[in-house]
Structure 1
Amino acid sequence: MRLTRRGLLAAGGSTLAGCSSLSETGTEGRSDNETDGTAAETDGTDRKDTDTRIGFVGDVMLGRSVNDRWSDGDPAGVWGSTLDRLRELDGLVLNLECCISERGEKWPGKVYYFRADPGFAVPALRAADASVASLANNHILDFGETALEDTRTHLADTGVAHAGAGPDREKAFEPAITEFGELTVATIALTSRYETYASTETEPGTAHVTLDSSASETRELIDGALERARERDPDLVVASLHWGPNWETAPGEKQQNFARWLVERGVDVVHGHSAHVLQGIEVHQGRPIIYDAGDFVDDYVDKEGLHNKRGALFELVVSKRSLKELRVVPTEIEDETATLADETTTEWARETIQERSEPFGTTIERTDERLSVPLGGE
């Protein structure tokens, strides 16, 4: 039986912030910066019965050439050699960088439009056991309100929770509540991109916010979303953010300040995406900030020198209801297919993440088997 927030607090130890930080105690009890826990000496596929593993990936764009490549074959093929790894997880959170619909009209004035055929996208997401899809991005309304509503319906019918866009502002900011193993997880999805798609009190759109924690509207919107999450008594709170400019290898100062503020407000995991390239990892008050997870599957042009076809699956390991470590599994996109990275790309990803995490003072443990960030749990 799942412990309640009160039971977790009474049990003591390094419990999940989704329990303690969303309560009236605020952030009391958290340690400053990263903790000194160590990762288990096993390879990335080993796990204890008490562990819960939650995967986080960046952009999943299933339209255009990806749709054409897989719509006439086995939809599960889009996940390539990552499929077994995805299915081993207790939950998978992704940014859905397209709508899923056969209807709708193109939003005027855009250059790129992303839409996936439900006959391909729905079974593909089901095959990967996708759990939560963030819709807070700059492509979910590419084919208007009709396609957005179709997307929400298809995801609901498939059993994929979603957050970040809806028929009005209240629904757009509503958390997705899911069960991962024995954990109840609340996910809010936010975006700072493409304000034109922002929802209003009466009109559909995204959960758009300004990356400024001092702005009264931003504080009101996020505090409201977190309050609704708290009502569901979650063990873990996730903020999935589509933010910042494309093709940047480091987060801007506004992003860094905003992410830390979210943690201080009670968010346990900050899951960033949008830049199309891997950025660094920070641990703030014992909680991981993935500034950008890169892309997981798409058909985008490979920008010279940026290696935007290289990304990662980030696996959060929760042990005995404490955050234990964040594992990094390098991936790459080949022929509109997500694949586990080869030796060369794996080495590049490890060096790149270490280098881009250095400014945050992040402790990264590296072995022949894996790269991981210790979070202090047992």
Structure 2
Amino acid sequence: MTTIYDAERRDISIALGGDAMITRRMQNFKEERFLKLVEILRDADVSLVNLEMLFHDFESSWQWSSATYTRSDPHNLDELKWMGINAVTAANNHSFDYSEGGFLTTLEHCRDIDLPYAGGGRDLDEARSPAYVDSARGRVAVMGATSTFSEQSRAGAGRPDFRGRPGVNALRHDITHHVQQDVFDALRKANLELGYEEEHAFHRHFGFRGNEDAPDHSTEIDFLDNKFILDEEYAIRTALNEEDRLGISNWIRGTQKMADWLVYGVHCHESGPDGDFHGHSRLSPPHFLTDFARWTIDQGCAAFVGHGPHFLRGIEIYKNRPIFYSLGNFIFQNESVLWLPPEAYSRCG
């Protein structure tokens, strides 16, 4: 079969990396293994990483963060391009460390040096939209989301009469705690005695809980903003938010018409029930993430790449396509963030 374009051969090399928390110049390093890594990135047709760092000059105030307040000199973005990085995902739990301004300034710096990004933007549609990288072997679309985020950082859709909210493409999920009868009864009694059940009813009556229906208290209760289900065994179960899945599916469907290859990345600190703890996360990915990863492949994505917990998780070959549940750290220069707000120091004593 005669081909006109190399992309028609369906033969491409894509290098994928985990979290890039870069705060220093990389061109100074001359170690042999490091230079071999750079060679791999440059030799690939397309190289992608997650940008878990903000690039600004402290133009905006910080928000509360339970971890590092990420900030790097904007010139360090050039170091990623020097290494061979062609595009980044920008949705993660640090995106709003320096509020909306710090995030939008970071995206502006990416545009200034022609570094395509996905996963964040000036409204929800822009946050869900892809970044494109044109290579000799075909056009690659990159899309990104994060399941770990603050409500302030979640991008919002606009209306004809109202502008959307800047932020990240948030991948929400529901959590249910399944408990046996004795624990369920104790939680129900605590809800009644502490007045929470009456408070929830009041909030529903006046519309403070949206269109939420009252639960069947014989099998389900809300306790301290957690949902508990009566069951025969103990379990914590997670399920993907279907509204987010639908919105993302619309963008995937349109993107497939514009690119030869599609890679979806998700930043996820949440865990499954198995494996040892490493920091705040277990080795196993949560159920909603495996569900979403396989679903993106079903929708036509060529690969799924996870990151977030700062260690390696498993790899799955699903329908002959790779799912990387976490690629860990690509660059982790967390210790050389230049300045932090006072509360970051007081938290550590």
TM-score range with shorter-chain normalisation?
0.5 to 0.7
1:240-255 correspondence runs (5 A): 240-245=265-270, 246-255=280-289
Q: Do residues 220 (structure 1) and 223 (structure 2) align? A: no
Of residues 145, 164, 169, the one that matches 1:207 is: 169
Q: Do residues 288 (structure 1) and 311 (structure 2) align? A: no
Q: 1:299 to 1:289 in 2, by over 3 A?
A: same
Q: Normalising by the residue count of structure 2, what TM-score does the alignment of the two structures yield?
A: 0.66
Where does structure 1 differ by over 6 angstroms across 4 or more consecutive aligned residues? 75-79
Partner SS for 2:12: strand
Partner SS for 2:100: helix
CA distance in 2, matches of 1:200, 1:97: 21
Of residues 99, 115, 119, the one that matches 2:71 is: 115
Deviation at 1:213, TM superposition (A): 7.2
Partner SS for 1:100: coil
Of residues 163, 171, 196, the one that matches 2:118 is: 163
Q: Do residues 267 (structure 1) and 222 (structure 2) align? A: no
CA distance in 2, matches of 1:165, 1:171: 7
Fraction of identical pairs, as percent: 25
**Alignment check: 8 A CA contact 1:247 1:277 kept:** no
The corresponding residue for 1:323 is none
The corresponding residue for 1:346 is none
After superposing the two structures, state which structure 1 stretch, 148-157 or 271-280, moved more: 148-157
Q: Deviations over 1:234-270 (max 9, x none)?
A: 1111101101434422212222122111111111100
CA distance in 1, matches of 2:329, 2:304: 16
The corresponding residue for 1:276 is 310
**Alignment check: 8 A CA contact 1:213 1:258 kept:** no
CA distance in 2, matches of 1:261, 1:94: 21
Partner SS for 1:60: strand
Higher Cα Rg, which structure: 2
**Alignment check: 8 A CA contact 2:240 2:292 kept:** no
RMSD, aligned α-carbons: 2.7
**Which amino acid in 2 is paired with 1:274?**
G
CA distance in 1, matches of 2:165, 2:30: 37
Between 1 and 2, higher relative CO (CA 8 Å, sep ≥ 6) is seen in: 1
CA distance in 2, matches of 1:136, 1:56: 16
1:1-378 correspondence runs (5 A): 1-2=4-5, 52-62=12-22, 66-67=23-24, 70=25, 74=27, 80-81=34-35, 82-102=37-57, 103-119=59-75, 121-196=76-151, 197-201=153-157, 202-211=164-173, 215-232=241-258, 234-245=259-270, 246-300=280-334
Partner SS for 1:208: coil
Q: Normalising by the residue count of structure 1, what TM-score does the alignment of the two structures yield?
A: 0.61
**Alignment check: 8 A CA contact 1:60 1:94 kept:** yes
